[in-house]
Structure 1
Amino acid sequence: MAQIVEREDEYVHVQFRDPDAFQTVREPNWAQWVAWSVSSSARVRIGKERGCEEWTVQSVLVDGEESLAREQAEQIAA
């Protein structure tokens, strides 16, 4: 479930986890390809939380209205 939704330039930034909890965050190409099946402009930030070796979605950036962006981001992160 999205925690924070805010406009950031041309994107709506839908944050799922606190960025300070991560030791590393990246926007890998393979994650973008998956996201583009939902929204052609989406960007996905994934990372490893401190003390964990698994990659998880930190946030999704989507172009558009906030309500639709939240819905699309949650679909991408699922």
Structure 2
Amino acid sequence: MAEDRSIETVEEGDDYYHVRYADPDEFDTIRTPDWAANAAESVVEGSEVRTGHKDGGGDDDWETQSVLVPVDEVDDEDEAKSAAEDIVEKIKE
């Protein structure tokens, strides 16, 4: 992952807290990589990581765009933020 970002916003949807680190419009490509799924699942079952890439950058220039944390697996928005931070730390290891 290319750079550290802090949480910009948290939105509660029907199924997930969408913990956003960057606006998706900043990226040319966004994907949910399999390699990040293991880290996300080890923190909160059912979580997902979306990463973004800007064209012209190297292969290592993928950044965390957002973390999706299932609303049924955490108590509130603060717990979703904490889980997202733990997931981001795990994928940096």
Asked if Structure 1 and Structure 2 have the same fold, meaning a TM-score greater than 0.5 normalized by the shorter chain, the answer is yes
Alignment size in residue pairs: 78
- For structure 1, the 5+ residue unaligned runs are none
Report the alpha carbon displacement of residue 52 of structure 1 after superposing the two structures with TM: 2.7
Q: Could you say what the CA RMSD is over the residues aligned between the two structures, in angstroms?
A: 1.3
Report the alpha carbon displacement of residue 41 of structure 1 after superposing the two structures with TM: 1.3
- What is the TM-score with the length of structure 1 in the denominator? 0.89
Q: Which deviations, in whole Å up to 9, do the C-alpha atoms of 1:22-58 show, x marking residues without a partner?
A: 0100011111111111111101101213543311110
Q: Percent identity?
A: 42
Tell me if the contact between 1:21 and 1:50 (Cα under 8 Å) persists in the aligned partners.
no
In the TM superposition, what are the counterparts of 1:3-14 in structure 2 within 5 Å? 3-14=8-19
- For structure 2, the 5+ residue unaligned runs are 1-5
Instruction: Give 1 or 2 for the bigger CA radius of gyration.
Output: 2
Which range moves more in the overlay, 42-51 or 68-77? Answer: 42-51
Partner in structure 2 of residue 25 of structure 1: 30
- What is the TM-score with the length of structure 2 in the denominator? 0.76
Query: Whose helix proportion is higher, 1 or 2?
Result: 2
